[in-house]
Amino acid sequence: MSLVATLVSAPQTPQLDSDLAGRAAEALGDLAAGSVETRVLAEGLAVDLFFEARSDGMSREADTRLREIVSSAPVDVLVQKHEGRRKRLLIADMDSTLIEQECIDELAAAVGKKDVIAAITERAMRGELEFEGALRERAGMLAGLPETVIAEVLSNQITLTPGAKALVATMKAHGAYCALVSGGFTAFTAEIAATLGMDENRANTLEIESGRLTGRVGEPILGRAAKRQRLQELIAELGLDASGTMAVGDGANDLAMIELAGLGVAFHAKPAVAAAADARVDHGDLTALLYFQGYTASEIRNA
């Protein structure tokens, strides 16, 4: 079986030098039926190690060995089949994934309830609370908030996650379809999707009457099951196999789509999500998802 191990360093503190890459290749030596080929994807940041596994099931052993080698260095690791690593569909969460904030928590600051609402958000994302009920509870606390606050939050408090623009621009340049599917709100996803050049966005709707939030969310609520359903629909609509898709998110409501996708990525995620995903990005930014697909620095677009 042809496998590729990808090591990706945190871009703010590059530590993937030739010594570390060499030790990683050496660690794979007795798992490989032949030599281990090294390919630098980005100097100091990302490297691929190609090898033929001696037998099936060696990807887990390879992963364990590589994580021991990188140890405390800020380096992410993924071992996967070489064939089919470039994906034709990206489906992504928004809050704490494509953007660095949780939008509902930022809205809560305008009514002096950020700490209360953020605590509920954290528990929901960890899977400790049922998502739909937690969303209704948090939205209810925003009742009476002027609609204009949404634009203010977007302009002043929301920032794109480093690598988000590059991820979408590069995948689209190579023919991929990019969908934003969020348990947040369309008032935010429409803006973020347009900024990133994504093909579609789906989310929940905050009800507004007479220029103020009512505290209600449009039904049915888009949660865990709806995210997976949209991935299934896109696979059919685009004529893809699930293996040609990648899903990325950080919270428990992303688990179903992460588990269905060909490559499910937990991005700086909650423990339960990191444990279930095919890949984890604990140190890098969103360009790690490009390096996992074998893109080189020269192929990455920073639109």
Give the residue numbers annotated as catalytic, written as ranges.
93, 95
Query: 58-70 vs 18-27: helix axis angle to the nearest 10?
Result: 150
Upstream peptide bond of 14 is cis (omega within 30 degrees of 0): no
216, with CB counted inside 10 A (0-12, 13-18, 19+), is middle
Please state, in angstroms and rounded to a whole number, the distance separating the CA atoms of residues 141 and 215: 6
Q: Which residue bears the tokens 């209600």?
A: 216
- Other Cβ atoms closer than 10 A to 237: 11
Q: Which residue bears the tokens 């994580």?
A: 67
- What is the distance, to the nearest Å, from the Cα of residue 153 to the centroid of all Cα atoms in its chain? 22
Contacts of 257 (CB under 8 A, 6+ apart): 91, 181, 227, 228, 230, 231, 247, 249, 264
